[in-house]
Amino acid sequence: MQFTQPLFLWALAGLSVPIAIHLLSRKEGKVIRLGSLRHLQETSTQQFKGIKLNEILLLASRSLLIILFVLLISGIHWPNQNTQRWLLVEKDLERNPIAKKLMDSLQNNGFEQHYLQSGFPKEKSVDSGKSNYWEMISELEHLELQQAIVLSYSRLEEFNGIRKSIRSTIQWITFPADSSNFIAEAIQQTPDRTLIRRGHSSSEHTSFETEFYNNPIIDSIKIKKLPSISISIVSDRRFDKDQQIVRAALEAIIKKLPIEIIITEFPFEKAVNNSSDWLIWLSDSTIPNMNSVKIVNYSSKPSNQLIEQVEHNRWTINKRLRVDVALQENLTLQLANLLLSEKERWSRIAHHDKRILSDSILFGGIQSNTIKASATLNPPINKYIFLLFLFVLVIERIVAYQRNQ
């Protein structure tokens, strides 16, 4: 039997309260009136001069109530009977000499080694693609082990979803992976010019730089063709300046990013069906039926955002475009994020990302979850004590009412 908050056991001193009440509220004896005392003789029988407790049942029930209440606030629970201690190691971490030495030491001290993969336990490392550390933490807590030590790379990319607090029985040890230099992508801009995007990643940050090569490069690098996007811009005379600013923003994207953008402009009066990838509609008029997959149109609806998605394939520009608005709202950057899908590009290079989640975030909720964890291990005992407390309270009230106390 253990207590989460043993300091509250001092409240057992409250047992002196019902005892004092019963001692001070003794009932008077029955008075018998006698005419004379001359015929009474003193006997040699020893009289009991001690103080008798006149309500044993009430005293016992009230004392029991105090004991049960103190047990509840002290967080009484039975200690976890599961004596399993696990060592969970992430794939390829055995190659780290420091981690290997720690693994041998823990196994000599009775820890069972398993691999840190979804679906514990696993005795063999299986390449199951991307992992989710938060999900594995939840799985590990459901096992209710006596202790679990995790050796992990703690990649930031693999902490997906809602952050979890780690139970005090789980110790998470991070071994940062070595820094790496890699080629994120290679794009053939012209027959004699290639764009190479190089990346560098460490435990603290991941960065990229772009280089241009006019000479042939090594054959081991996979070269992709320059991606192309066709955009149709339709506007009326009232939106001439807006059209010019959008055109300038698209030309800036062409100069800075490895992408080919084919821009077609025509006035509102000559709007016809087209097969462009994007349609930018700068007019208050209703958009006709077109084959464009994605549409960006002007909207007079008030909004704090310059560009806002309203449907799965439709966005709105919520402000009239001027030079100051375009600069302040970063129109070029917003259009680039809209036109270029960085998610697909990042998914190809995510395995190179060596950044880790800091310990201040990873262990931020470990203390606040300690009481919750202890209560989760053995919740029934508190439930039974509470039910017994209610039962004794009812009995005490009934007896007190009958005896007018």
| pLDDT tens track for 70-111 | 888 887 766 655 678 899 998 888 889 999 999 999 999 999
pLDDT at residue 126 in the model: 56
One domain, residues 232 and 220: no
Q: Is residue 42 part of a domain?
A: no
Q: What is the dihedral of CA 48, 50, 56, 62, to 10 degrees?
A: 180
Q: Is residue 37 part of a domain?
A: no
One domain, residues 117 and 74: no
One domain, residues 188 and 157: no
Q: Is residue 192 part of a domain?
A: yes
One domain, residues 260 and 316: yes
In the chain, the amino acid numbered 210 is T
- DSSP 3-state assignment of 153? coil
CA 93 to CA 87: how far, in whole Å? 13
Q: Is residue 45 part of a domain?
A: no
One domain, residues 261 and 318: yes
One domain, residues 302 and 234: yes
- DSSP 3-state assignment of 285? coil
Query: How many independent structural domains does the chain possess?
Result: 4
pLDDT at residue 369 in the model: 39
Note the helical H segments in 288-379: 323-328, 331-339, 342-349, 359-362, 370-377
The verdict on pTM exceeding 0.75 is: no
Q: Is residue 27 part of a domain?
A: no
Asked if residue 83 lies in contact with residue 146, where contact means CB atoms within 8 angstroms, the answer is yes
CATH, residue 313: 3.40.50
Let me know if 24 is exposed, middle or buried by CB neighbors in 10 A (0-12, 13-18, 19+).
Answer: exposed
Strands (E), 217-306: 223-225, 228-235, 260-267, 278-282, 294-298
CA 152 to CA 385: how far, in whole Å? 41
One domain, residues 250 and 311: yes
Q: List, in order, residues 6 or more apart from 72 with CB less than 8 Å away.
A: 382, 385, 386, 389
One domain, residues 235 and 158: no
Q: Is residue 335 part of a domain?
A: yes
One domain, residues 194 and 244: no
* Nearest CA among 134, 169, 171, 85 for reference residue 372: 169
Let me know if 89 is exposed, middle or buried by CB neighbors in 10 A (0-12, 13-18, 19+).
Answer: buried
The CB density around residue 229, as the number of other CB atoms within 10 Å, is 18
One domain, residues 274 and 199: no
CA 71 to CA 6: how far, in whole Å? 9
- Asked, as a colleague might, if the bond just before 121 is cis with ω within 30 of 0, I would say yes
Give residue-wise pLDDT tens across range 117-158: 877 665 555 555 567 888 888 888 888 788 899 999 998 888
Residues of the chain with pLDDT under 70: 1-2, 25-32, 34-55, 77-82, 120-130, 215-220, 268-274, 290-292, 341-348, 364-380, 405
In the chain, the amino acid numbered 350 is A
State which residues form the domain around 405. Answer: 1-20+53-78+378-405
For the chain, report the end-to-end CA distance as a whole number of angstroms. 36
* Nearest CA among 237, 340, 329 for reference residue 282: 237
Q: Is residue 347 part of a domain?
A: no
Asked if residue 353 lies in contact with residue 201, where contact means CB atoms within 8 angstroms, the answer is yes
pLDDT at residue 221 in the model: 73
One domain, residues 157 and 217: no
One domain, residues 166 and 213: no
- The torsion angles phi and psi of 175, rounded to 5 degrees, stand at -120, 100
* Nearest CA among 6, 172, 134 for reference residue 74: 6
pLDDT at residue 371 in the model: 34
Q: Is residue 276 part of a domain?
A: yes
CA 311 to CA 323: how far, in whole Å? 27
pLDDT at residue 341 in the model: 66
Asked if residue 167 lies in contact with residue 366, where contact means CB atoms within 8 angstroms, the answer is yes
pLDDT at residue 139 in the model: 85
